[in-house]
Amino acid sequence: MNLFFEPTRWCGIEGRHMAGGIEFYERLNAGVGMGTLLDALKWDEDGRVTVVSQDHETLEVLGVAFADRNALQKTLETGLMHYYSRSRKKLWLKGEESGHLQHVVELRTDCDGDAVVAKVRQIKGNCHLGFKSCFAYVIEKNAKGEWSARESGLVVFDPKNVYK
């Protein structure tokens, strides 16, 4: 598995700037290596980027979390998704308690470099409520024409048997 982005061409976008400034690829400046990649990301004021995890086969969105530089460095080093837990205020290996690890298949960044998509091989479920995906509720109009939410996610484990 090659997690490192190795630029091979400029794709005809040289010199393009958006109102927000220099874009990810230009900040990367055709460099390679973990430090160069991490430096090119656009971290928010708290030093984090948004990470969307996605099943690499079905492309189902599994969850949204945040990663700081340390979390992405650990992800690149180990091939397992690490995040920054805002509630616990610490580095978090996805699945460290449940065993429901996320094995990285591919990482992508958006043009700004402020968001990452992690295509993963998810062990069991991603959601702490037992669903495969944290996006387990559909928002829709009910029979009366009122907006409502209904559970539609696939339950893949019982949280009572996983989290003590």
Write out pLDDT tens, residues 26-63.
888 777 889 999 999 999 999 999 999 999 999 999 99
For the chain, what percentages of helix, strand and coil (3-state, to nearest 5) are there?
15, 35, 50
CB neighbours of 136 closer than 8 A, spacing ≥ 6? 127, 129, 151, 152, 153, 154
Domain ranges of the chain: 24-128
What pLDDT does 8 receive? 40
Q: Which residue has the higher pLDDT, 23 or 59?
A: 59
Fold of the domain spanning 24-128: Ubiquitin-like (UB roll) (3.10.20)
At 138-152, the pLDDT tens digits run 999 999 999 999 999
